[in-house]
Amino acid sequence: MTGSVNIDEDLEGLLPTDNRWDYAVGYRASDACEKTFFVEVHPAETSEVACVVRKARSLKEWAERSAPDLWNMTIPREIHWVASGRCDLRLNDSYRRQLALAGVGSPKRFLELA
């Protein structure tokens, strides 16, 4: 890991009522390329899909406007949902589509940086 930003904490005063993404993590891969991983640690339950989608959209809006270098560092973007606790999510086609449109994959129990 080469660095990290607690986006949620850093933007709390500026955007107190917004759905804020949790973290941006910098990582230098074995090919010496620096990558940015955007990570949301959130309950992985079906009822939380809409919240994670809102957070991802807010992340995109904020990053394009206020942190374009960070946002454009890694293409395709690495936007990940990591389950906080158990993963109890029924990912039907509708939920998968909502997440995909927001640029987020299915939730993971852990994130392996590569």
Domain limits, the chain? 3-101
Indicate the pLDDT class of residue 30, thresholds 50, 70 and 90.
confident
Per-residue pLDDT tens digits for 43-78: 999 899 999 999 999 999 999 999 999 999 888 899
Indicate the pLDDT class of residue 85, thresholds 50, 70 and 90.
confident
**pTM of the predicted structure, to 2 decimals:** 0.90
Locate 87 and state its tokens.
Answer: 């993963």
**pLDDT at site 1:** 65
**pLDDT at site 98:** 92
Q: Buried b vs exposed e over 54-77: b needs ≥16 C-beta within 10 Å?
A: ebbbbbbebbeeebeeebebbeeb
